[in-house]
Amino acid sequence: MRKETREEAARRIEARLTHIKLIRLWLEKHGSITPSEAYLMFGCYRLSARIFDLRHKYHLDIRTEIVPDATGEPCAKYVLVQD
């Protein structure tokens, strides 16, 4: 039996979880996320909308910081506030 690759595992997990669940898990593990990370990791184009959902439907305390992206342009970084 062949071992599953990282890419195959990621696709399998993504098929079962929604973007909201994936972003929540990412925030709980890593503490923050940027739009480019959300796009690269999960194919999520609308991170701000998913953060809105997490704040209002799931009552997560997420703050927004403005940080420079790879090109130096301002970019949102969403940080999960831990209790």
**What would the DSSP string read from start to end of 35-74?**
HHHHHHHH--S-HHHHHHHHHHTS---EEEEEEE-TTS-E
3-state secondary structure of 14: helix
Task: Show me where the domains of the chain are located.
Answer: 6-80
Q: Which two tokens stand for residue 41?
A: 């990791």
Summarised one tens digit per residue, pLDDT across range 3-21 is 888 888 877 656 446 889 9
- 6-80 has which CATH code? 1.10.10.10
Summarised one tens digit per residue, pLDDT across range 54-70 is 999 899 999 999 999 88
Output 44 or 66, whichever has higher pLDDT: 66
